[in-house]
Amino acid sequence: MNVVLTILLAVQILSALTMIGLILMQHGKGADAGAAFGGGGAGSASLFGASGGANFMSRSTAVLAAVFLGCTLGLAYFGNLRTVAPSSGSVLEGVVTPAQPADASQQIPGAVPAPAAATPAPTGPAQIPAK
């Protein structure tokens, strides 16, 4: 399974780099407007001809984009198919959680424990001590 993932990743990287190069070599749509005003003598002397270069490069870019998309889908599919062995699972699977203490005051570090028997609040009027 790792061999398939490695091959798909290598093909994806190569197609991405080649696609970047092809896209950077293509002229934009604004290049035709510049040729109309006297600057377009170099287009007819290209390697692929006046209009053949755009067709060849755009078709090559489309094929590389399809290869890139196919590799991306393959990597997503085969990447999610991998089963995790119990011995090589997640690090968090082996963590043991400590038992919760029975007393709530032990959960907060530095907290003062509550008194065992709480004194009842006075219900009558407050008495002022005599002097």
Task: Give me the residue spans of the domains in the chain.
Answer: 1-28+52-82
Span 52-82, pLDDT tens digits = 556 888 899 999 999 999 999 999 998 888 6
Rounded to an integer, the average pLDDT of 24-46 is 63
Higher pLDDT, 124 or 14: 14
Q: Taking the CB of residue 55, how many other CB atoms lie within 10 A of it?
A: 11
Rounded to an integer, the average pLDDT of 2-21 is 94
- The amino acid at residue 27 is H
Cα separations in angstroms, 52 against 48, 57, 100: 5, 8, 75
Q: Give the pLDDT confidence score for residue 128 in this predicted structure.
A: 74
The answer to whether 113 touches 104, Cβ cutoff 8 Å, is no
Q: Which of 50-54, 90-94, 118-122, 127-131 has the least mean pLDDT?
A: 50-54
- Residue among 79, 71, 80, 90 at smallest CA distance from 2: 79
* DSSP string of 47-97, one letter each residue: TT-TTHHHHHHHHHHHHHHHHHHHHHHHHHHHHHHPPPPSTT--GGGGPPP
Q: Alpha-carbon torsion 18, 19, 24, 28, what sign?
A: positive
Q: Give the pLDDT confidence score for residue 89 in this predicted structure.
A: 65
